[in-house]
Structure 1
Amino acid sequence: MPSPDTQHALRRRNLSRVLRAVADAGTMSRAGVAARIGLTRAGVAPLVDELLRAGLLVEAGRAAPSGRGRPGSELTVSDSGPAGIGAEIGVDHLAVCAMDLRGTVRARVATDSANRHSEPGPVLRRLSALLAGVTAEIAAEGLRPAGLTVAVPGLVARGSATVVHAPNLGWRSADLAPELAAALTPAPDAAAVYDARVPLTVDNEANLGALAELRLGGAGGLAAPADFVHVSAEAGIGAAIVVDGQLLRGARGFAGELGHVPVYPDGRPCACGGRGCLEQYAGEAAVLRAGGLTPERAAGGHPGPGERTALLARRATDGNAATIGALREAGTALGIALAGAVNLLDPRAVILGGALAGLAPWVLPSLERELALRTAVAPAPARPDGCLVAASRLGADGPLLGAAYAALRTVLEDPGSTGAPTHSPQYRTG
């Protein structure tokens, strides 16, 4: 007979499978759930009942008759209850969103914020004001935070909230957990909106962009589990590696530091101490410089999120030769850097996210050309079995959406762990 611990783990796994099946489908009958996850209808029934009692699933009306027996009722994920809170700290912006179990964004706010070389404390206090507004907005709709995940453009020590190095922010060895707890704890007379068990996670923005691509963006049309390299860019360039549907993090959590892969060993000096790093040819500052712009001029003195990318796209669309040449050079450098990853990992796809997604029409041709020259298998569609190279449908929203989805994982992986909000907001890292 299985031990109680084994039985509990099996039940938790099956609850998760039922909840995910309904969330993925939108609406589904009990019979459909049973067929999807490979259990009997009798085995599914108590699991569905438990999720209904927890308020995670609701009845959505009668199912269409199948021709056998009485029609059952359709199930759908509740539009109230737990929500994942995602936050993003960019070099020049802050953003927060709340996502429900259907994957629908229920609230979102973003603002310009000059975070470069600012201490973590002031940045996190600005972030707290956005969080307060979002959590108040979703509370009015019957939602409560199930977790908070913060995306940062830097290296995060595995299993911690410590930003080891975020060069474009100027942060080193910055433990964000105390600052977040202090900044996010409401005043004594404020309405409590956080559960005492809400997990707090800090992760690299490229990793969260890849998670969003895997769970929400279709990973270039691939069916999960997928193998792909996700490349994203803001001020710097990062990458995340997904193998068999899971993030490859590396021993310390630093896997995917693509921006400092040397593409021209004797090339331009880089702030990291090396020479010829990818960021010196495909990073935002490098592309703007090559296109005859400075970051300040590109944003008109107001460095808002996405403004510089939009300007580059407009100039390229208008046929500006310097801009098109700069983007072509960026694609060439990306192709050189990615060739090693493609040869080493044999991914099914390379997905361009973040700012690169909006510039894909001008970056992709030279990128694909370099991959064709330097890899064992030519990119698709040159060969049906080649490595697909595509732009993310999520664009610059990937890291923020991935953060919100990551914050929901506690509920999706262990639906029985959800509870009602308490009056004492505390946080744990994980």
Structure 2
Amino acid sequence: MHRVAPTTDTPIRQDGLRAHNLSLTFQQIVDARQAPISRSELAAGTGLTRPTISRIVDELLGAGLIVEAEPARSGNSGRPRVGLGLARTGPAGLGLDIRTGVLSACVVDLTGAVRHLDFAAHTGRDVPPADTLNSLAAMARKAIAAAAAEDLTVVGATFAAPGPVRDGSLVRFAPALGWRDVDAGTELGALISAPVVVGNDVALATLGELYAGAADLRSFVCVSGEFDIGAGVVLDGSPQRGSRGHLGHVMVDSTGPACACGATGCLQSYAGLREILAAAGGDDSAPAPAVAIDEMVSAGSPAILTALDRAAGALGVAVSALLNLVEVDTVLLGGSYSLLASWLTEGVEREIRARVLSDRWAPVQVRPAPLGPDAAVIGAALSSIDQVRRDPNRWLARAQP
């Protein structure tokens, strides 16, 4: 006797269909952020009827998620075209970040525009984790208040941690901070009385750079030089979230010095910001090593130029290994590397030309990242607002009287 396998298909309830169509329509408006989109274009893009689109648009307008642009005529006659765009009031995302010498907090609105950006000094390993989290919480509360003053409601917070993260909360290891198994998400959430998601800083910086350069960047590698050297990969507009990104621990010289990770000859030993300073005889404990490097260059130090060229060559070797595995046409020098791009780009490109097979017919461009050191905190804020972008029904349910 044959048993009939239970079906996995279930009918969509009316309320589920409504939520689906609303999300589908809203996503069209989100994706059209370069220019307002009309109701007729929404109907064509979604396949929904004009009456359905009108009802959904009215609902989104009433919830304050979208606004109507000024009417524009497409010709000399006919009704003017009324475009729809994302609102600049209503839901907002909060990002928090630690980078070399600095804590930062950022708020973005639904359009992705930065509405608040704040910084505070941080001395790194000398500060206990609890004190650092308290400082970040104070900045978060200030940012939430600043958002409220502009008629924005923070719907989520994301902390960009300089190290691997587990379960969106636990920072497994952040050597530059002296952190090991710090449950930053739970502790920050308790301090600000709101959920906090923790993500890797390099992954969030890559997300920020993708959004900032969305018009012309579809596939790229973002190499970030802050505490540790990391790399994020974007292919055809999609961040590759499964990649670990620990570029700093790719071996570039088997006979090289020992690394803090336990291996030898790691990229970090040659191209880390503090390692560059140390190689040039500078103060590798400087609170802002990128600034210290720039000051040594401005002072005409030949040692720092030699150290930078050495770093660029090592960085080029590691990036070339990555480019032989993934097909991209752009390498962004992100984080503090963006501030040093004038001295790193040539050396990185030299190694790419010599080592990357596809560069012979598809040259790879190396350039400074648009957001630079602010990319991680902006990416964290964008990640927070993404929950509304992907599912506006949550905001609508919240906005119901």
TM-score using structure 2 length: 0.89
Which residue does the alignment assign to 2:339? Answer: 358
Q: Secondary structure at the match of 2:69?
A: strand
Which residue does the alignment assign to 1:111? Answer: 120
User: Structure 1 residues 321-330 or 280-289, which shifts more?
Assistant: 321-330
Counterpart code for 1:279: Q
**Change over 3 Å in CA distance of 1:156–1:230 after alignment to 2:** same
Distance across 2 between alignment mates of 1:64 and 1:319: 59
Distance across 1 between alignment mates of 2:100 and 2:344: 23
Distance across 1 between alignment mates of 2:63 and 2:174: 40
Distance across 2 between alignment mates of 1:247 and 1:326: 32
User: Are 1:237 and 2:232 an aligned pair?
Assistant: no
Which residue does the alignment assign to 1:279? Answer: 268
Which residue does the alignment assign to 2:129? Answer: 120
Deviation at 1:98, TM superposition (A): 0.5
Deviation at 1:114, TM superposition (A): 1.8
**Change over 3 Å in CA distance of 1:68–1:6 after alignment to 2:** farther
Distance across 2 between alignment mates of 1:407 and 1:72: 33
Distance across 2 between alignment mates of 1:27 and 1:264: 52
Counterpart code for 1:202: V
Distance across 2 between alignment mates of 1:213 and 1:156: 21
Give per-residue Cα distances to partners, 1:338-377, cap 9 Å, x unaligned. Answer: 1111111122322110001111111011111111111112
**Change over 3 Å in CA distance of 1:212–1:100 after alignment to 2:** same
User: Structure 1 residues 103-112 or 4-13, which shifts more?
Assistant: 4-13
Distance across 2 between alignment mates of 1:288 and 1:39: 60
Distance across 1 between alignment mates of 2:58 and 2:106: 30
Distance across 2 between alignment mates of 1:390 and 1:373: 18
Which residue does the alignment assign to 1:395? Answer: 372
**Change over 3 Å in CA distance of 1:288–1:394 after alignment to 2:** same
Counterpart code for 1:394: L
- Matches for 1:266-345 after TM superposition, within 5 Å: 266-296=255-285, 299=286, 303=287, 307-317=288-298, 319-345=300-326
Deviation at 1:12, TM superposition (A): 4.3
Counterpart code for 1:207: A
Distance across 2 between alignment mates of 1:314 and 1:244: 38
Which residue does the alignment assign to 1:181? Answer: 189
Correspondence for 1:152 among 161, 166, 183:
161
Q: Is the 8 A contact 1:26 1:77 kept in 2?
A: no
Q: Which runs of 5+ in 1 are unaligned?
A: 186-193, 423-430
Q: Secondary structure at the match of 1:344?
A: coil
Deviation at 1:415, TM superposition (A): 1.1
Correspondence for 1:413 among 383, 386, 390:
390
User: Are 1:87 and 2:108 an aligned pair?
Assistant: no
Correspondence for 1:207 among 203, 207, 232:
203
Counterpart code for 2:374: D
Distance across 1 between alignment mates of 2:43 and 2:291: 47
**Change over 3 Å in CA distance of 1:8–1:255 after alignment to 2:** farther
Distance across 1 between alignment mates of 2:308 and 2:50: 55
Counterpart code for 1:108: L
**Identical counterparts, % of pairs:** 38
Deviation at 1:319, TM superposition (A): 4.1
Q: Which runs of 5+ in 2 are unaligned?
A: 1-9
User: Are 1:385 and 2:366 an aligned pair?
Assistant: no
What CA RMSD, in Å, does the superposition of the two structures yield over aligned residues? Answer: 2.5
Give per-residue Cα distances to partners, 1:122-160, cap 9 Å, x unaligned. Answer: 111111111111111111111111110110110112x42
Q: Secondary structure at the match of 2:357?
A: coil
User: Structure 1 residues 136-145 or 315-324, which shifts more?
Assistant: 315-324
TM-score using structure 1 length: 0.83
**Change over 3 Å in CA distance of 1:420–1:98 after alignment to 2:** farther
Q: Is the 8 A contact 1:18 1:48 kept in 2?
A: no
Q: Secondary structure at the match of 1:25?
A: coil
Correspondence for 1:17 among 27, 40, 52:
27
Q: Is the 8 A contact 1:266 1:276 kept in 2?
A: yes
Q: Which has the higher contact order (CA 8 A, sep 6+)?
A: 1
Give per-residue Cα distances to partners, 1:238-287, cap 9 Å, x unaligned. Answer: 1112233323233xxx6111111111112111111111110100001111
Deviation at 1:178, TM superposition (A): 2.3
Distance across 1 between alignment mates of 2:373 and 2:45: 33
Q: Is the 8 A contact 1:98 1:106 kept in 2?
A: yes
